[in-house]
Amino acid sequence: MKQTKISEAVVRRLPIYLQVLNELNNREVQTVSSQELGVKLDLNPAQIRKDLAYFGDFGRKGIGYDVTYLIEKIRQILKLDQTINVALVGAGNLGHALCNYNKYSKDNMKIIAVFDVHPSKIGSQINNLTVMPMDMLKQTVEENNIRIGIITVPGFEAQNVANQFIDAGIEGLLNFAPAILKVPEEIRIHHADFTKELLSLAYYLERERDDENEPNLD
Amino acid sequence: MKQTKISEAVVRRLPIYLQVLNELNNREVQTVSSQELGVKLDLNPAQIRKDLAYFGDFGRKGIGYDVTYLIEKIRQILKLDQTINVALVGAGNLGHALCNYNKYSKDNMKIIAVFDVHPSKIGSQINNLTVMPMDMLKQTVEENNIRIGIITVPGFEAQNVANQFIDAGIEGLLNFAPAILKVPEEIRIHHADFTKELLSLAYYLERERDDENEPNLD
DNA sequence: TAGATTGTTAATCGATTAACAATC
DNA sequence: TAGATTGTTAATCGATTAACAATC
């Protein structure tokens, strides 16, 4: 298929495909059909085929997709075949968690610098990284070709941190703070605010009939 | 508007509305129009009006929406007006982060119990909660009317934890582990897997001209 | 060959946006 | 009243799904 503009919905599914494919690869499965992927992911096989076909003819008619080849291709599409350096601001528990997670990742996307706004945190170690003060952000970003910034500070500090990242020349931001950030159009910003997931989850719970004060039956 | 089936897209926007409204409320803004909300959230005003109208006539023609009233209404819709107890499994950094976050929340959604699969973690304190062993999960869930489970364990443990939550009678799950979980249809599961956000963010970066690679054809 | 499965077009479905009467 | 803004219908846009020729 020719290069149409690819919708965000499609791009967001690519990492999910990659995850299943990696699992299949670990189990040394050679080949997979859109049908099988669809069952695993609860997606329509036609959608999976269409998504992949935006980027090239990766499958073989009558056969399916070669698992390792498709992994390679999706990694290319997501630019995981090149090194992408990441910086993180906010050396709290969440920051720690992300750095740890990073350690185990095979992706070429690595958190290579950690910053904090609070003097008490500066100099402490997270894995093999030393927490740096904010006034070293710009220089560090420039010198290390850091392209993505992760924000794990409290909401009220988030905009300020975002501004400093942007000033330093970052291309993309991943924001964990519960705040709506204003960024220039050319900066890509993704949100990873779990509170929103939690609140929308509550919507789907059964409403408790709590008005009649039923006692806990145990 | 009458009660049509409400789409997931609509429900997912409700927490975002709530966030902006809370900010406005903190600044003691009395009234807001869909126009103003649209500018702040980069959403079409008609969409905002339509979303809200699914649940009732909350606005006043010619005036807009009363901020505190709309907050109250959205909180009702999301069931944040009632207490919803939450349990978390996985007392690592991410688990810690979520528990801390929780402390500051005004919502009636509270993490009231923390578990871990590893003996070394049992008995340690997170805020005012003592980390409990997994064999206390079912009893605790039942006795405390815990309705939501949060999973912050490594991917390979996630399915097992999910199964135990389901066995204990949980209604909804929030999964942070990078794993695709199989759950019965009646269990609502939301994913908060930041790696996916990070990977899809990489897609939108400019491809580096790092070697002789052909540029993107778009 | 017969069966399986892709890539792609066409049909369907659903979500977003425009437009406007109602009304504050 | 005149201006503003809602709630809602109709129009548009885009995404998903079905169907099928191509082909392994």
Give me the CATH topology for the region A84-200.
Rossmann fold (3.40.50)
pLDDT for the residue numbered B108: 83
B95 touches strand D (CB under 7 A): no
Residue nearest to nucleotide D7 (CA to C1'): B53
Closest CA relative to residue A151, chosen from A117, A176, A187: A176
Q: Return the CATH number of the domain spanning residue range B84-199.
A: 3.40.50.720
What would the pLDDT profile of B3-54 be if each residue is shown by its tens digit?
Answer: 568 999 999 999 999 999 999 999 999 999 999 999 999 999 999 999 999 9
**Mean pLDDT in residue range B88-109:** 86
- Confidence band for B187, pLDDT divided at 50, 70 and 90: very high
Residue A11 phi/psi, 5° resolution? -60, -40
Residues of chain B with C-beta less than 8 angstroms from the C-beta of A20: 180
Predicted pLDDT at B139: 98
| Partner residue facing A192 (CB), from B20, B147, B197 | B197
Residue nearest to nucleotide C18 (CA to C1'): B46
- Mark yes or no for CB contact A79/B188 under 8 Å: no
Which residues of chain B from 106 to 125 reach within 8 Å of chain A, CB to CB?
A: 107, 109
A201-212 pLDDT tens trace? 999 998 764 444
Residue A23 burial by CB count (10 A; 0-12/13-18/19+): exposed, middle or buried? middle
Q: Could you tell me the residue ranges of all domains in chain B?
A: 8-77, 84-199
Domains B8-77 and B84-199 equal at CATH topology level = no
CATH C-level class of B8-77: mainly alpha
Look at A200 and B148 and tell me if their CB atoms are within 8 Å. Answer: no
Contacts of A87 (CB under 8 A, 6+ apart): A111, A112, A113, A114, A115, A137, A140, A141, A146, A148, A149, A150, A165, A170
Which residues are CB-contacts of B144 (< 8 A; sequence separation ≥ 6)? B85, B112, B113
* Interface touch A200/B12, C-beta < 8 Å: yes
